[in-house]
């Protein structure tokens, strides 16, 4: 028996298969049940019957064919009365199943016919791979790579498109995914186009197991431009990250609750904290307590405006010191991506320090111009008293009461000389005579001079390192600094026991919390003078280096001013740490000597020469009281003295008097004493007599037999100087 086949030219194969399935079902029913015939009449198809089928008769059975949706699709007639109802129903169900399978196939075919053009012409590259080879590519896939669809389908493997250096990586990645039963793959690789160009492709695929192997269906995207843009964005982000981390200023974003939402990496260089330590915390929690109210006022105004400008406050460094940060900000609370205050914090600690030093220097210079002339004249007045007092002391040695009075006058003159010397420094600071000094030896000698000035209840301690420290300094001026600080410490501890400590160490090892990281500290020697006295109040601290400022009833207000001027004149620095009731420490930084191998040793006082027991002395001095007194004391020593008061009379006096030594005042009515010196330079020893400081440059010529005396000077110093300049190689 063979089925009757309905021929449909439009879909011949599908209809043939469909008819064959029905015919096979009918043949099976006849064979199993012994029926003479079976006929199926389908409403939308011609009848299907077996060979020799007879028309329905009284011995036939008929059943309606109803599908799963309740529709009557036709009838099934079986002849021969050999089937019961259940068998007939079973054959009917088989035919309904065949009908519904055919319906589904036809629907899928129609859908596929509609979808295929959409897939072929889609704007996305679509492919399928069966067992490693392309089984389908759409037009877009071929267009992107520059191949024809036929060329792609002819490739032995889809990996032939991948650049060689990427192939093994992709194969291994896909293999591991499949071995791990991962049904989806996604990766980015480089694919070579037909023209040799390279593009970055992002591949997506879904894996399905089929009868003859493995099928992968997916899409491909050209992400070359996207990856290039992402790379450029990453490079740009890295560029700005490096800038933000290395810029000297701190960049902050603070939200409206005062929380740090962003802080640049430079925070660690400025205040010692890492980014992780500060982000998410209160932005200004490390502010100095005394600045908190001012900051709150600025922030309140900032919240209501657009800008924050030039607001400087102190913030605590991680090491405990205070840094001054100047804030500049823009209010971006309404900006959708920021929603906060954008603030730049600049560390101006060093700038403020320099400004304070410059301001202090300007004040000292202004005062110096005013005070120098007064002090100079006062020195001349004291010099006019000094020599008569020396004469009286020599002639009244047998009268103890009168000798006591002259001692009092001499002490007052000495004190006045020290005070005017301090004042004169502001008018014209003394020139430095720098030389390398071994600091430990220098401090040992300095403490020996300070110790007699301290009361017995005060303890003087010296703390020195084990290794040498060589500084470049003027030892006489540095001695004055230590003497002034020692006297200050004595007064601060007045009336009670205490300790004065003088210590030295390399600058890089300093422990001054108040100055933080000292710039180039390894180029300095650190000397600190510490007392356990009453300390300095915060109200007085800003003014302690100003001239004439003092908190003592009998103070001159010049001691610390001199200290400040000497140290800054050395190119050094001085800082103060103090606490009320616990004492004060002055931190002094003096530059190290460039050549520390052979520090000079401070010479001992030279002995007087007796080579000229009765020298002839020419005094050039316009102050009659001074000239007369000098003449008296020198003639009392057996010397021959000649006095002139004008520069114009010096050369004739030398020709006529033939002096052995000239005592020359630097301030003459008709000329500066320097011009007189230039006229007689090299002809005879010269002792400069002056009431001003800063004349040391007169001695830098390198000539022998030149010295300088600062008015007022005692007779013993004058005589010793005369004998010294007369000795071979004499002078200062």
Give the DSSP letter string of 287-318.
Answer: B-GGGHHHHHHHHHHHHTSSEEEEEEEEEE-T
The answer to which of 70-79, 279-288, 437-446, 526-535 has the lowest mean pLDDT is: 70-79
Helix, strand, coil share of the chain (percent; to 5)? 45, 25, 30
The confidence score (pLDDT) of residue 654 equals: 92
Secondary structure element (H or E) that encloses residue 39, with its range: strand 37-42
Task: Give pTM, 2 decimals.
Answer: 0.38
Please give the average per-residue pLDDT across 100-105, as a whole number: 76
What's the pLDDT score for residue 371? 67
With residue 242 as reference, give the H or E element that holds it: helix 224-246
pLDDT of residue 650: 92
Whether 655 shows a pLDDT value over 70: the answer reads yes
Over 60: is that where the pLDDT of 599 sits? no
Which CATH number is correct for 616-726, 3.40.50.720, 3.40.50.10900, 3.40.309.10, 3.40.50.2300? 3.40.50.2300
Q: Is pLDDT at 427 greater than 60 in this prediction?
A: no
User: Does residue 402 contact residue 393 with C-beta atoms inside 8 Å?
Assistant: no
- The whole-angstrom separation of Cα 310 and Cα 325 is 10
Q: What is the mean pLDDT of residues 90-102?
A: 80
How much of the chain, in percent, has pLDDT values that exceed 90?
12
C-alpha to C-alpha distance for 499 and 461, rounded to whole angstroms: 7
Backbone dihedral region for residue 729 (phi beyond 0: left; psi -120 to 50: alpha; all else: beta):
left
Dmax (CA) of the chain: 183
Residue 8's pLDDT band, with cuts at 50, 70 and 90, is very low
pLDDT at 514: 56
> Cα separation of 356 and 364, whole Å?
12
Compare 688 and 604 and report the one with higher pLDDT. Answer: 688
Mean pLDDT of 343-369: 78
Q: Pick the residue with more confidence: 78 or 506? A: 506
Token duo for residue 211: 């009868």
In the prediction, which pLDDT does 3 show? 35
Looking at the domain 12-119, which fold is it? Answer: Beta-Lactamase (3.30.450)
How sure is the predictor about 200, in pLDDT bands with cuts at 50, 70 and 90?
very high
Interval 324-341 mean pLDDT: 86
pLDDT of 384 strictly over 70: yes
Degrees, nearest 5: CA angle 540-545-549: 60
- What is the band of 450 on the pLDDT scale with cuts at 50, 70, 90? confident
pLDDT value of residue 41: 76
Query: Does residue 519 register a pLDDT over 90?
Result: no
- Average pLDDT value over all residues in the chain: 79
Residue 81 banded pLDDT, cuts 50, 70, 90: low
pLDDT category at 517 given cuts 50, 70, 90 is low
Matching residue, tokens 């006295």: 533
The count of C-alpha atoms lying within 13 angstroms of the C-alpha of 206, restricted to the half-sphere facing its C-beta, is 4
Contact 484, 562 (CB under 8 A): yes
Looking at residues 251-279, what average pLDDT do you find?
86
- pLDDT greater than 80 at residue 160: yes
pLDDT at 663: 93
Q: Are 383 and 626 in contact (CB under 8 A)?
A: yes
Lowest mean pLDDT among 223-237, 260-274, 371-385, 614-628: 371-385
- How crowded is residue 147: how many other Cβ atoms within 10 Å of its Cβ? 18
Q: Binning pLDDT at 50, 70 and 90, where does residue 452 land?
A: confident
Residue pair 615/641 in contact (Cβ under 8 Å)? The answer is no
710's CB contacts (< 8 A; 6+ apart) are 379, 417, 421, 690, 691, 693
Sequence-ordered alpha helix ranges (H) in 457-543 = 475-492
All structural domains of the chain with their residue ranges: 12-119, 121-227, 247-347, 435-591, 616-726
Q: Under 8 Å CB-to-CB from 418, ≥6 apart: which residues?
A: none
Q: Which residue has the tokens 């309404």?
A: 334
What's the pLDDT score for residue 11? 41
Question: Does residue 516 surpass a pLDDT of 60?
Answer: no
- Distance (Å, whole) CA 362 – CA 366: 6
Averaged over 504-522, what is the pLDDT?
72
- Per-residue pLDDT averaged across 389-395, rounded? 76
The arithmetic mean of pLDDT across residues 438-464, rounded, is: 87
* pLDDT at 596 (0 to 100): 55
Contact 695, 666 (CB under 8 A): yes
Question: Lowest-confidence range among 284-298, 399-413, 663-677, 709-723?
Answer: 399-413
Q: Is the pLDDT reported for residue 472 higher than 70?
A: yes
Taking residues 643-649, what's their average pLDDT?
Answer: 92
Q: Is 407 helix (H, G, I), strand (E, B) or coil?
A: helix
- Comparing CA positions, the residue from 594, 592, 587, 593 lying closest to residue 353 is 587
Domain 435-591 has CATH 3.30.565.10: yes
Q: Which residue has the higher pLDDT, 111 or 713?
A: 713
Q: How far apart are CA 329 and CA 345, in angstroms?
A: 9
Q: Which of 247-261, 267-281, 431-445, 685-699 has the lowest mean pLDDT?
A: 685-699
pLDDT of residue 12: 42
Q: Is the pLDDT of residue 5 over 60?
A: no
- Per-residue model confidence (pLDDT) at position 320: 86
Report the CATH number of the 121-227 domain.
3.30.450.20
Pairing of strands 686-690, 706-710: parallel
The tokens of 499 are what?
């300790």
- Bridge-based pairing state of the strands 524-531 and 498-506: antiparallel
Please tell me if the domain spanning 121-227 has the same topology as the one spanning 247-347. Answer: yes
- pLDDT at position 619, please? 94
Q: Is 5 or 514 the better-scoring residue by pLDDT?
A: 514
**Domain 247-347 CATH superfamily:** PAS domain (3.30.450.20)
pLDDT per residue as tens digits for the range 539-576: 888 878 876 667 665 555 567 878 888 888 888 888 89
388: Cβ–Cβ under 8 A, 6 or more apart, which residues?
629, 632
Task: Identify the weakest region by mean pLDDT among 313-322, 395-404, 585-594, 640-649.
Answer: 395-404
Residue 190: strand pairing partners? 200
């Amino acid at each position: 028996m063979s089925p009757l086949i309905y021929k449909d030219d439009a879909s011949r194969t599908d209809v043939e298969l469909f008819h064959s399935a029905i015919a096979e079902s009918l043949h099976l029913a006849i064979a199993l049940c012994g029926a003479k015939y079976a006929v199926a009449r389908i409403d939308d198809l011609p009848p299907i019957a077996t060979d020799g089928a007879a028309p329905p008769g009284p011995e036939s059975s008929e059943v309606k064919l109803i599908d799963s949706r309740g529709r009557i699709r036709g009838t099934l007639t079986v002849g021969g009365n050999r089937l019961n109802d259940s068998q007939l129903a079973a054959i009917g169900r088989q035919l309904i199943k065949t009908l519904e399978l055919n319906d589904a196939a036809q629907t899928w075919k129609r859908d596929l016919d509609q979808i295929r053009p959409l897939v072929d012409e889609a704007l996305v590259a679509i492919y399928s791979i069966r067992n490693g080879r392309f089984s389908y590519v759409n037009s877009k896939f071929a267009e992107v790579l520059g191949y024809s669809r036929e060329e792609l389908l002819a490739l032995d493997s889809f990996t032939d498109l991948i650049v060689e250096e990427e192939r093994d990586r992709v194969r291994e990645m896909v293999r591991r995914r499949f071995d791990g039963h991962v049904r989806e793959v996604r990766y980015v690789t480089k694919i070579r186009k037909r023209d040799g160009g390279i593009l970055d492709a992002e591949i997506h695929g879904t894996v399905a197991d089929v009868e003859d192997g493995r099928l992968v269906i997916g899409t491909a995207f050209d992400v070359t431009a996207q990856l290039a843009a992402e790379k450029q964005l990453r490079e740009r982000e890295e560029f700005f990250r490096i800038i933000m981390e290395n810029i000297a200023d701190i960049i902050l974003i603070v939200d409206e609750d005062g929380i740090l939402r962003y802080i640049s990496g430079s925070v660690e260089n400025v205040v010692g904290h890492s980014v992780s330590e500060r982000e998410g915390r209160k932005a200004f929690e490390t502010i100095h307590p005394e600045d908190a109210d001012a900051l709150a006022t600025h922030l309140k105004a900032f919240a209501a405006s657009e800008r924050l400008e030039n607001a400087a406050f102190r913030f605590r460094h991680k090491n405990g010191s205070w840094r001054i940060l100047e804030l500049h900000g823009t209010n971006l609370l309404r900006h959708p991506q920021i929603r906060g205050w954008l603030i730049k914090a600049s560390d101006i600690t060093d700038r403020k320090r320099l400004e304070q030093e410059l301001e202090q220097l300007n004040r000292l210079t202004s005062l110096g111009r005013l005070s120098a002339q007064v002090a100079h004249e006062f020195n001349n007045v004291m010099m006019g008293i000094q020599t008569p007092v020396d004469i009286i002391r020599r002639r009244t040695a047998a009268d103890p009461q009168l000798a006591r009075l002259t001692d009092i006058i001499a002490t007052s003159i000495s004190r006045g000389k020290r005070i005017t010397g301090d004042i004169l420094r502001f008018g014209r600071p003394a020139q430095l005579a720098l030389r390398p000094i071994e600091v430990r030896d220098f401090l040992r000698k300095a403490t020996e001079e300070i110790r007699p000035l301290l009361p017995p209840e005060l303890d003087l301690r010296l703390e020195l390192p084990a290794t040498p420290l060589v500084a470049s300094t003027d030892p006489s001026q540095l001695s004055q600094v230590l003497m002034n600080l020692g006297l200050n410490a004595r007064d601060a501890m007045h009336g009670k026991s205490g300790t004065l400590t003088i210590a030295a160490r390399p600058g890089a090892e300093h422990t001054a919390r108040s100055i933080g990281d000292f710039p180039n500290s390894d180029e300095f020697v650190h000397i600190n003078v510490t007392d356990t006295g009453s300390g300095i109040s915060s109200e007085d601290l800003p003014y302690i280096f100003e001239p004439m400022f003092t908190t003592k009833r009998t103070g001159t207000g010049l001691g610390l001013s001199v200290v400040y001027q000497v140290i800054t004149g050395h190119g050094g620095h001085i800082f103060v740490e103090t606490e009320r009731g616990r004492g004060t420490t002055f931190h002094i930084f003096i530059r190290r000597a460039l050549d520390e191998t052979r520090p000079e040793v401070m010479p001992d006082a030279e002995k007087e020469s007796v080579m000229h027991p009765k020298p002839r002395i020419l005094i050039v001095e316009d102050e009659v009281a001074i000239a007369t007194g000098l003449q008296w004391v020198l003639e009392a020593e057996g010397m021959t003295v000649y006095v002139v008061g004008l520069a114009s009379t010096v050369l004739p006096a030398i020709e006529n008097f033939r002096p052995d030594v000239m005592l020359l005042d630097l301030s003459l009515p008709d000329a500066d004493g320097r011009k007189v010196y230039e006229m007689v330079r090299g002809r005879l020893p010269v002792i400069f007599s002056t009431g001003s400081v800063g004349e040391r440059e007169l001695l830098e010529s390198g000539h022998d037999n030149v010295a300088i005396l600062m008015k007022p000077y005692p007779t013993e110093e004058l005589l010793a100087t005369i004998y010294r300049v007369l000795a071979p190689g004499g002078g200062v």
